[in-house]
Amino acid sequence: MISTIAPVLDKAVAGERLTPEEGLRLLESDDLLAIGRAADEVARRMHPEPYRTYNIDRNINYTNICTAVCDFCAFYRPPKHAEGYVLEREELLQKIEETVKLGGEQILMQGGLHPEFGIEWYEDLLRDIKQRFPQVNIHGFSPPEIYHFGKVSKLPLRDILERLQAAGLGSLPGGGGEILVDRVRSAMTRGKVMTDDWLNVHRVWHELGGRSTATMMFGHIETLAERVEHLERLRQLQDETGGFTAYICWTFQPENTDMADVPPSGAHEYLKTQAVSRLYLDNFPNIQSSWVTQGLKIGQLALLYGANDMGSLMIEENVVAEAGTVHYLTLEEIRDAIRELGYTPRQRNVFYELIDADPTVAA
C-alpha cells in the first residue's frame, strides 16, 4: 500500500497540487501513518513557527426553531414545537458578557431557519451586540441561514450580506456545509440550501471583503469520492476569492438523530480525512482540530495530522451535545495539549491574528 501512495504523498509534501484522483487514492488507503506524516510535513512547512494556536469563544444558538428538516440534526425543532425557543435578548447579551470575562473576544452565533424573522430582526440583534460589546467579533450566521434570510425578506443575497456587515457582522462560519454534493444534501435534508448556493454565500461575502471558515461533516451516506468532490469545490472557491481563513472537519455524530443507524466513524477515519484535507487544500492557510467531537487525545493527535490550530475553548456548545457527544476541556487542558507536543500555545482571533502577549518576550 505504501508504494501505491508514496508518489502522491511526495508530490503533496513538495507543494504540488493533488488531483481529485490522487485525493481519492489517499482516502482509499489504510496507511494512516504515512498519510499523517506527510500532512504533518505540509503543516510544518506552512507553519514553521514554534507555536500552535487556539481561541476563546462561545457558541450561542439564538434559536432552535428551523423550517429545514435535516435527518442528521438532533438540535432543531420545527415551528410551533413545544421545545422551540428564541433566546431573550438580555440572556444572549449576558452570555457574551460571561465570554468576555473569560478572555473571549468572539462569539459563534448560529440558529435555525426561523420562518418569521426578516433581515431587520438580525440587524437589530447585531447592533445591540456591537453597542454593548464593540470589541467582540461576531462570527455569525451559517450560509443556510444567510440564504434563508434572503428568501424571507425577498432581497438579493448581496443586499442581505451588505446590511449584515453594516450592522456589525464580522465573519462567516462554515456551518451547514456537511458534504457539498447535491446527491448527499438532497438525501439528508429538505428545505435547505444546496451546494452552489452555499458556496455563493461565501463567494459574495468574500467579494465584500469578508472572511469565513469552511467545514466538512463526514462519515454518513457520502462516498469517498464525494468527500474529495467537497474538498475540490472548496479549493476552487478559495482559488477564486482567497477568503477562507481555515477549514474544520468532523465526523457525523449519529446518536439521537434520524440517522442513528449509521455506524459512527472512529478516530482512524477522522485523522485520515483531516490529513488528506491538509494535503489537498493547498490554498487553505489553517486547519483546525475538532476535539469537540473527538475528545482531548484525538484532538491533540490531530495536531500531528495536519492541523495547526486546536480550535476553540468553546465555552458553550449545543448542537453536537444534542447528538450525545459531550467533550469539555478547560483552557489549561488545551494549552497543555499543545505544550506536550513541543509547541507554545498562543491565543488568536478568527482572522488568525495573535492576540496574547508573546511568552518569549520579557515584560
What would the pLDDT profile of 109-129 be if each residue is shown by its tens digit?
999 888 999 999 999 999 999
Checking if the pLDDT of 254 tops 90, the result is no
Checking if the pLDDT of 361 tops 80, the result is no
Instruction: Look up residue 171 and give its DSSP letter.
Output: B
Q: Higher pLDDT residue, 196 or 114?
A: 196
Q: What is the DSSP string of 44-112?
A: HHH--SSEEEEE-EEEEESB-B-SSEETT-SS-B-TT-TT--B--HHHHHHHHHHHHHTT--EEEEE--
Q: Tell which residue, 261, 235, 260, 265, has the closest CA to residue 250.
A: 265
115 in Cβ contact with 69 (< 8 Å) = no
Per-residue pLDDT at 327: 55
How far is 323 from 174, CA to CA, in rounded Å?
19
Average pLDDT, integer, range 52-75 = 85
HEC letters along 310-355: EEECCCCCCHHHHCCCCCCCCHHHHHHHHHHCCCEEEEECCCCCEC
What would the pLDDT profile of 289-330 be if each residue is shown by its tens digit?
998 888 899 999 999 999 999 998 877 644 444 434 455 788
**Average pLDDT in the chain:** 91
What would the pLDDT profile of 136-151 be if each residue is shown by its tens digit?
999 999 999 999 999 9
What would the pLDDT profile of 324-341 be if each residue is shown by its tens digit?
445 578 889 999 999 999
For domain 18-347, the question of CATH label 3.40.91.10 is answered with no
Checking if the pLDDT of 3 tops 60, the result is no
Average pLDDT, integer, range 70-86 = 83
How far is 102 from 334, CA to CA, in rounded Å?
15
In the chain, where the domains are located: 18-347
